[in-house]
């Protein structure tokens, strides 16, 4: 009896763990809220570590590069080579600062163009596990970031905040398969829903067969999802096919390069749900 129980222990543990995880997932799906208490706690605990780790790992990488670069040089040339390396490093840093400056200027321009309160953030990590496409940014509730805030850059929509820690926040990228943004064709004003497809970009659903759509048409946000302001670029139509349910199959190429995200802008505006009207009053 006891032997049979001990043999079954792994199976019982498996069933227990999987059930708990299923409950956890169904709760999030049901409420539509990404940041559960557990996730918030984990994000808060891990946030400072990632921020610290990001700095120290970069320093470690710099150290390693310097070491690898200098290794094997002759003794009499060490000082000169080190000096040369320093100058080169300074030059590289200068170039890096110049590029960063350009990007930040773009951000500033975007901030002015949008005329919305916003905060600039740096992308700490870009994560892709399985189907999910996420980014971790170095701004959190301390900086005014809240759940469901829109994240954009100069190219267009980056994603939306789905979980907020004190000093970090998790952003669901536009190409994440769980992501959905209300879109509109700039040329025809036809509307639809832009859904993520991971590495394959996005697709636009609920576009009628009667709608005139051409490859190269620009899709922007319609503002109907009450997360993204109207008129921000989502992408360009890459292909259009006739669908089988009176709708078109449209593939969208996002404008944002999700492999090279460094700085983003979090729009600090939330569309508050309108108060429900009671009939008869």
The contact set with other proteins (CB under 8 A) reads 9-10, 13-14, 17-18, 21-22, 24-26, 28-29, 34, 36, 38-39, 42-43, 46, 50, 53-54, 57, 61, 125-132, 134, 136, 162, 170, 172, 176-180, 195-200, 259
CB of 225 to other proteins, least distance (A): 15
Overall size of the chain counted in residues: 281
Which of 128, 141 has the CB closer to other proteins? 128
Strand partners, 126: 135
Supply 190's token pair.
Answer: 């036809």
Beta-carbon contacts of 165 under 8 Å, excluding residues fewer than 6 positions away, are: 40, 43, 44, 46, 47, 140, 141
Task: Sort residue 37 into left (φ over 0), alpha (ψ -120 to 50) or beta.
Answer: alpha
CB of 242 to other proteins, least distance (A): 21
Burial class (CB in 10 A: 0-12, 13-18, 19+), 20: exposed
DSSP string computed for 3-66: HHHHHHHHHHHHHHHHHHHHHHHHHHHHHT-S--HHHHHHHHHHHHHHHHHHHHHHHHHHHHHH
CB of 197 to other proteins, least distance (A): 5
Which of 25, 78 has the CB closer to other proteins? 25
CB of 278 to other proteins, least distance (A): 31
Which of 29, 116 has the CB closer to other proteins? 29
Would you tell me how many other CB atoms lie within 10 Å of the CB of residue 199?
Answer: 10
Judged by DSSP in three states, 83 sits in: helix
CB of 281 to other proteins, least distance (A): 36
Which of 25, 70 has the CB closer to other proteins? 25
CB of 196 to other proteins, least distance (A): 8
Which of 49, 84 has the CB closer to other proteins? 49
Which of 17, 87 has the CB closer to other proteins? 17
Would you tell me how many other CB atoms lie within 10 Å of the CB of residue 118?
Answer: 21
Which of 7, 75 has the CB closer to other proteins? 7
Supply 216's token pair.
Answer: 């190269």
CB of 55 to other proteins, least distance (A): 12
Per DSSP bridges, beta strands 202-205 and 169-173 are unpaired
């Amino acid at each position: 009896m006891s032997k049979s129980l001990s043999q079954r222990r792994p199976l019982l543990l498996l069933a227990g763990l999987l059930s708990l995880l299923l409950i956890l997932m169904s709760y999030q799906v049901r409420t539509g809220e990404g940041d559960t208490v557990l996730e918030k706690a984990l994000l808060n605990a891990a946030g400072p570590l990632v921020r610290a780790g990001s700095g120290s790992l970069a320093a470690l990488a710099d150290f390693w590069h310097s070491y690898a670069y200098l290794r094997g040089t002759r003794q009499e040339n060490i000082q000169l080579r080190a000096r040369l390396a320093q100058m080169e490093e300074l030059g590289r840093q200068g170039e890096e600062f110049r590029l960063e400056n350009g990007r930040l200027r773009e951000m500033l321009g975007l901030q002015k163009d949008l005329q919305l309160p916003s905060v600039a953030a740096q992308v700490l990590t870009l994560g892709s596990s399985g189907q999910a496409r996420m980014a971790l940014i170095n701004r959190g509730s301390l900086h005014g970031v809240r759940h469901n805030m829109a994240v954009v850059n100069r190219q267009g929509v980056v994603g939306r905040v789905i979980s907020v820690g004190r000093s970090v926040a998790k952003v669901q990228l536009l190409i994440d398969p769980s992501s959905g943004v209300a879109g509109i064709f700039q040329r025809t004003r036809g509307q639809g829903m832009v859904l993520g497809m991971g590495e394959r970009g996005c697709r636009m659903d609920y576009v009628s067969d009667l709608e005139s759509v051409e490859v190269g048409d620009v899709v922007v946000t319609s503002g109907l999802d009450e997360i993204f302001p109207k008129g921000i670029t989502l992408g360009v139509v890459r292909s259009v096919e006739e669908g089988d349910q009176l709708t078109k199959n449209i593939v969208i190429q996002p404008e944002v390069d999700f492999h090279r995200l460094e700085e983003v802008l979090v729009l600090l505006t939330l569309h508050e749900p309108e108060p429900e009207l009671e009939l008869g009053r």
